[in-house]
Every structure is written in C-alpha cells, then in structure tokens.
C-alpha cells in the first residue's frame, strides 16, 4: 500500500528584517504521519507553522498541501479543512462558556449570520458534546472557560480541533504551560485522536522524551536550518546534544 503525500515543503525560506528565520527547508509528509519538530529556542519552529498556516508569507519556496499550493486552499476558503492549529496559549475566549469555544471549530462551515447567532443560542450542541466527551470533559460543557485548569483548557482546545476536523493538525508547544503529568496526558490524547481520525499530526515540542515516546519521526531545526530529519528510533543522544548545545561551547570546533 502506498500512502499519499499530504504536505510538501520545498526550499522554504523566511527572513525578518534581513535576519534568517528559516532557510531552504525541504521535507515531505505522508498522510497519517506523526512528526515532532524539535530544536532550541529561536530555531524557526513557530515561523514554520506560521508559514504553513499562511499567517506569514515566505520570501522563497513553496508549500503544497494535498498537491496544491497553500494559496489555492486560501482562495477556495478551504484551508481550515486542511490545516488546524493548536497553540501553547490555547487561544480560547475565557469569558465564554466551554461550548462556545468548542463551536468556534465550526465557523468555517457556517455563514456569517449563523456564526453570530451561535453566540446567542448555541447550535450543534450535540456536536460539541460529542467532542467534549472524546476528550473526557463533557460535564464542563456550560462552565465558564476561565474557571478550568490549564489541562482542561487544553482539552477544550482539542475538542474545538475535533469539531474543525482538519486533515493536518499543527500543534505548537501544546503542553509547555502544563505540569509534566498533565502534559503527557494531553500529548497522549493528541496522538490518540489523530490516530483515530487518520489525521496527520505535526507538533513542536521542547520535550525530547515525549517526542521519542509518541512520535515516529523527528525533524530538528537549528538556527533556521534543517539539522536532521530521522525516524525517532534513529535519533541518538549525541545528535541531541549537538542540537541543543549552546554557542559558547561551540567556539573551539
Ligand atoms: N514577527 C517577527 N519579527 C521579527 N523576528 C521574528 C518574528 N518571528 C520570529 N522572528 C525571529 O525568527 C527566529 C525564529 O523564531 P521562532 O519563533 O520561529 O523560533 P522557535 O523555534 O519557535 O522558538 P521557541 O522554541 O522559543 O518557540 C527568531 O530569531 C525570532 O526572533
Ligand atoms: Mg516557538
């Protein structure tokens, strides 16, 4: 069985004020793969995600999603069906009840008036309930989001993603504000849901331990360059040491 390519990044480059954030990055991703993007602070991980979601434009290179350029999906207003994002700061509206935050994942399918209306009378309650049930917090459906713990809020963000149901899930440091036990719990859930829904999952992580345990492939970035792209079981401690080594220690090399 051949698995099709869902994402292809070719020669991608991005500069901010003439400083390189990402340089000639190329890789391709097969449908259903689970990839951890690792690398030190400032390596270009978030920049890569911002490029993949069209938030910023590259100065060179191309991004193909399902064989079509990213702006093709943007023009057809279908990018949200292809790519969904979950971030470190869950970007939930804390003053709203959980159900409203979950249903934001539906906005792409709704017209303007239905979207507005939903903030008065929640629509598709059943859809929200089922998503919350899958992440284990259906009892919180009408609770004010700000009253939830960090771990629970991240589950709300996961439920919102379930409702959006994109083909590719990008998670940018999804657990860095959680304690280790809750962090592992969320990563476990993220990978399980992606498996169940046959989604492609690409996550940036500062925890190499979680990357090794839950992801089959690691792409390492350093100073905006590809440092390695390997199956997780081929990543050695010495490669990781080189990846995270601070500059001072590099000087006599
Ligand atoms: N909007 C911006 N304006 C100017 N420089 C930027 C901007 N966004 C990113 N950069 C620069 O690009 C480089 C890569 O940043 P990026 O946020 O992608 O790193 P990262 O790998 O996500 O780091 P972290 O692990 O700390 O989240 C950094 O040097 C950063 O200062
Ligand atoms: Mg980042």
Atom of ligand 1 nearest to the CA of 39: 21
Residue with tokens 């793969």: 33
Q: What is the pLDDT of residue 177?
A: 77
What is the CA(224)–ligand 1 centre distance, in A? 9
Q: If DSSP states are collapsed to H, E and C, what string results for the chain? A: CCCCEEEEEEEEEEEECCEEEEEEEEEEEECCCEEEEECCCCCCHHHHHHHHCCCCCCCEEEEEECCEEHHHHHHCCCHHHHEEEEECCCCCCCCCEHHHHHHHHHHHHCCHHHHHHCCCCCCCHHHHHHHHHHCCCHHHCCCEHHHCCHHHHHHHHHHHHHHHCCCEEEEECCCCCCCHHHHHHHHHHHHHHHHHCCCEEEEECCCHHHHHHHCCEEEEEECCEEEEEEEHHHCCHHHHHHHHCCHHHHCCC
What is the CA(165)–ligand 2 centre distance, in A? 23
CA distances to 114, 143, 146, 159, 249 from 118, rounded to whole Å, are 6, 17, 20, 17, 56
Tell me how far the alpha carbon of residue 142 is from its chain's centroid.
Answer: 26
Atom 18 (ligand 1) nearest CA = 44
Which residues are near ligand 2, the ion (C-beta closer than 5 Å)?
45-46
What is the CA(114)–ligand 2 centre distance, in A? 34
- Cα angle: 218, vertex 20, 68; to 5 degrees: 60
C-alpha to C-alpha distance for 36 and 33, rounded to whole angstroms = 10
Copy the structure tokens of residue 122: 């929640």
Kindly report the pTM of this predicted structure: 0.89
Q: Is the sign of the CA dihedral 88, 94, 98, 99 positive or negative?
A: negative
Residue with tokens 């960090």: 150
Tell me the CATH class for 5-246.
alpha beta
CA distances to 5, 25, 53, 79, 119 from 169, rounded to whole Å, are 15, 20, 11, 12, 26
Q: What is the pLDDT of residue 104?
A: 80
C-alpha to C-alpha distance for 122 and 235, rounded to whole angstroms = 47
Atom 31 (ligand 1) nearest CA = 42
Copy the structure tokens of residue 99: 């159900």
For the chain, 253 residues long, give each residue's pLDDT as a single digit of tens: 567 999 999 999 999 988 889 999 999 999 999 999 999 999 999 999 999 999 999 999 999 999 999 999 999 889 999 999 988 776 788 888 899 888 887 776 666 666 666 554 556 788 899 999 998 999 999 999 999 988 889 889 989 999 989 999 999 998 887 888 888 988 998 999 999 999 999 999 999 999 999 999 999 999 999 999 999 999 999 999 999 997 654 444 4
CA distances to 8, 202, 223 from 44, rounded to whole Å, are 17, 14, 7
């Amino acid at each position: 069985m051949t698995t099709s390519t869902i994402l292809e990044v070719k020669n991608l480059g991005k500069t901010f004020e003439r400083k390189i954030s990402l340089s000639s990055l190329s890789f391709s991703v097969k449908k259903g793969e689970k990839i951890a993007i690792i690398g030190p602070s400032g390596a270009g991980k978030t920049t890569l995600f911002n490029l993949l979601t069209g938030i910023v434009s590259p100065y060179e290179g191309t991004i193909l999603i399902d064989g079509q350029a990213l702006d093709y999906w943007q023009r057809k207003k279908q990018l949200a069906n292809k790519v969904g994002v979950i971030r470190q700061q869950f970007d939930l509206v804390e003053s709203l009840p959980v159900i409203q935050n979950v249903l934001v994942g539906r906005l792409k399918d709704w017209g303007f008036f239905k979207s507005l209306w939903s903030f008065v009378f929640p629509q598709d309650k059943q859809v929200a309930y089922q998503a919350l049930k899958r992440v284990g917090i259906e009892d919180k459906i009408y609770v004010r989001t700000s009253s939830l713990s960090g771990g629970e809020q991240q589950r709300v963000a996961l439920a919102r993603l379930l409702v959006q149901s994109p083909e590719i899930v990008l998670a940018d440091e999804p657990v860095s504000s959680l304690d280790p036990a809750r962090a592992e719990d969320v990563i476990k859930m993220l990978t399980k849901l992606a498996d169940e829904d046959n989604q492609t999952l690409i996550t940036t992580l500062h925890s190499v331990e979680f990357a090794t345990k839950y992801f089959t492939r690691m792409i390492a970035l350093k100073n905006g360059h590809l440092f390695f792209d390997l199956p997780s079981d081929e990543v050695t401690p010495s490669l990781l040491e080189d990846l995270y080594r601070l500059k001072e220690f590099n000087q006599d090399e």
